[in-house]
Amino acid sequence: MRQKLFEYYKENASTHALIFRHMKWFRRLFLIMLFFNVILVCVAAVGSFLTDFISSMLI
């Protein structure tokens, strides 16, 4: 049993290492995209508010 487990981990260690390495980059990309989307939503909300506010001041 111990030998089978050792052989399994020895064969699949590089595959698991590649998966975890890419997961680190995908997590970083996900966090950057999430931050970028939050910034875009905030800018859109402020722009919409300012447009309505300025148009109500002019009328």
The per-residue pLDDT for 4 is 76
Residue 2 belongs to what domain range? Answer: 1-59
CA distance 35 to 40: 9
HSE (CB half, 13 Å, CA atoms) of 29? Answer: 6
DSSP state of 54: H
Q: pLDDT tens digits for 11-59?
A: 777 766 777 777 888 899 999 999 999 999 999 999 999 888 887 887 7
The three-point CA angle 46-50-51 to 5° equals 115
**Counted domains in the chain:** 1
- With a threshold of 0.75, does the pTM exceed it? no
CA distance 45 to 56: 17
The three-point CA angle 16-18-21 to 5° equals 110
